[in-house]
Amino acid sequence: MMRLQKFMAMAGVASRRQSEKLIEAGKVKVNGHVVKEMGMKIDEKRDTIHVQGKRVFINEDKLYYMLNKPRGYVSTVNDEKNRKTIMELVPDEERLYPVGRLDQNTSGILLLTNDGDLTYRLTHPKHEVTKKYVIKVKPIPSKEKLSELRKGGDIGVYSIAPCEIRLRRFDEEENTGTYEVTISEGKNRQVRNMFEYIGCEVVTLKRIAIGELTLKGLRLGKSRKLTPDEIVYVKKLAGI
C-alpha cells in the first residue's frame, strides 16, 4: 500500500506536489471514482488509477531524456490554453514528464523522465542542484544592483539565496548586458524575477547547464537520451 500521490510520482505523472494539485482538481480516478482527498492509500498491484483519462502504471523501464527547449513552448504535458508544449519535441512513443519547468519564453536545457522518484528528489529544495543561465537584459544594471542580487535576500516575490553573476558582454549602444548566472534553487521564474526586481527588462533567457550537464551538440528543439554516465550522474545529484 502507498499514498496516491507517491504512486503518481513513481509512475512519472508529476512531482508529489504537482500530483496533489491534480488530485485536488478532480483529475484523478481510483477504480473509476474521482478522488479529491489527500492521503488516500492505494494498492498499486490491484487498484486502477487514471489521470486525466489515461491509465497510469509504475514503469520499471526508466527513461531519461535531455531537451534543448526553444522559446514559445510550455513545460507541461498538456495545456488547457492549447499552447505548444514540450511534448511535441520528444518521441511520441515515450511517456515522459519534465523535471521542473522553464517558462514559455525561456529556452535551454530541460530533463524529462518517467522516473517519478528522481523527479521528486531533483525538484525538492533540499537538493541544491546548480543551474546555469545566460541572460540578456536592458538597461545595463549598475554594479551595486548586481552586488545586491549576488548577496541574496528579499526580491519582492520571495527571498533568494546568494548566487553567482558573471558579466559576459555589454553593448553600450543597445544599453544591454549579458550575464552568466548560477543559482542553486529552483524557485518559479527566479532568474527572470531577480533582474526584473532591479529594474531590468529581460530580452532573452537561456538555461545552459544543470549541474555538469550541458547542451553540447544538441540542437535547438531536439532531444536525446541521456548516456549511461549521465544517468549515473543525475541519480547522484538526486541522492539515489
List the catalytic residues.
103
Could you write out the DSSP letters of every residue in the chain? -EEHHHHHHHTTSS-HHHHHHHHHTT-EEETTEE---TT-EE-TTT--EEETTEE----SS--EEEEEEPTT-BSSS--TT---BGGGGS-TTS--EESS---TT-EEEEEEES-HHHHHHHHSTTS---EEEEEEEESPPPHHHHHHHHH-EE-SSSEE---EEEEEEEETTTTEEEEEEEES---TTHHHHHHHHTT-EEEEEEEEEETTEE-TT--TT-EEEPPHHHHHHHHHHTT-
